[in-house]
Structure 1
Amino acid sequence: MSTDRNIVLFDLFGVIARHQRPGALKKMAARCHAPTDTFTTAYWACRPPYDAGRQSAPEYWTAVLRRLSLSVDADTIEELRLTDIDSWSRVDDQMIAYVQSLREVAEVALLSNIPSDHADAFLAAQPWLHNLDHVAFSGKIKVAKPTPAAFHHCIVAMRAAPTDFLFVDDREENVRAALATGMNGHLFTDRDELAAVIDTWSTTQRPRGNDTLPETDSACLT
Structure 2
Amino acid sequence: MSTDRNIVLFDLFGVIARHQRPGALAEMAGRCQAPTDAFTTAYWACRPPYDAGRQSAPEYWTAVLRRLSLSVDADTIEELRITDIDSWSRVDDQMAAYVQSLRRVAEVALLSNIPSDHAEAFLTAQPWLHELDHVAFSGKIKVAKPAPAAFRHCVAAMRAAPTDFLFVDDREENVRAAQATGMNGHVFTDRDELAAAIETWLSTRHPTGT
Normalised-by-shorter TM-score class: over 0.9
Q: For 2:141, give the aligned amino acid.
A: I
Q: For 1:18, give the aligned amino acid.
A: R
Pick 1 or 2: higher relative contact order, CA cutoff 8 A, min separation 6: 2
Q: Secondary structure at the match of 1:29?
A: helix
Q: Secondary structure at the match of 1:118?
A: helix
Match of 1:190 in 2: 190
Match of 2:179 in 1: 179
**Alignment RMSD, CA only?**
0.7
Match of 2:86 in 1: 86
Q: Tell me by how many angstroms 1:43 deviates.
A: 0.1
Q: Secondary structure at the match of 1:110?
A: strand
CA distance in 2, matches of 1:33, 1:205: 55
Ranges in structure 1 where 5+ consecutive residues have no aligned partner: 207-222
* Structure 1 runs, 4 residues or longer, greater than 2 Å off: none
Mapping of residues 129-208 of structure 1, within 5 Å: 129-205=129-205
Q: Tell me by how many angstroms 1:203 deviates.
A: 1.5
Q: Tell me by how many angstroms 1:133 deviates.
A: 0.1
Q: Tell me by how many angstroms 1:205 deviates.
A: 4.2
Q: Secondary structure at the match of 1:108?
A: strand
Match of 1:128 in 2: 128
Q: Taking every aligned residue pair, what percent have the same amino acid on both sides?
A: 89
Q: For 2:115, give the aligned amino acid.
A: P
Q: Tell me by how many angstroms 1:204 deviates.
A: 1.3
CA distance in 1, matches of 2:175, 2:203: 22
CA distance in 2, matches of 1:127, 1:30: 33
Q: For 1:115, give the aligned amino acid.
A: P
Size of the alignment, in residue pairs?
206
Q: For 2:82, give the aligned amino acid.
A: L
Structure 1 window deviating more from structure 2 (197-206 vs 68-77): it is: 197-206
Ranges in structure 2 where 5+ consecutive residues have no aligned partner: none
Mapping of residues 39-58 of structure 1, within 5 Å: 39-58=39-58
CA distance in 1, matches of 2:2, 2:172: 24
Q: For 2:154, give the aligned amino acid.
A: C
Match of 1:59 in 2: 59
Match of 2:110 in 1: 110
Confirm or deny that 1:32 pairs with 2:32.
yes
Confirm or deny that 1:96 pairs with 2:96.
yes
CA distance in 2, matches of 1:56, 1:97: 32
CA distance in 2, matches of 1:114, 1:92: 17
Q: Tell me by how many angstroms 1:114 deviates.
A: 0.1
Q: Secondary structure at the match of 1:19?
A: coil
CA distance in 1, matches of 2:152, 2:66: 35
Q: Secondary structure at the match of 1:50?
A: helix
Instruction: String of CA shifts for 1:65-88, please: whole Å, max 9, x gaps.
Output: 000000000000000000000000
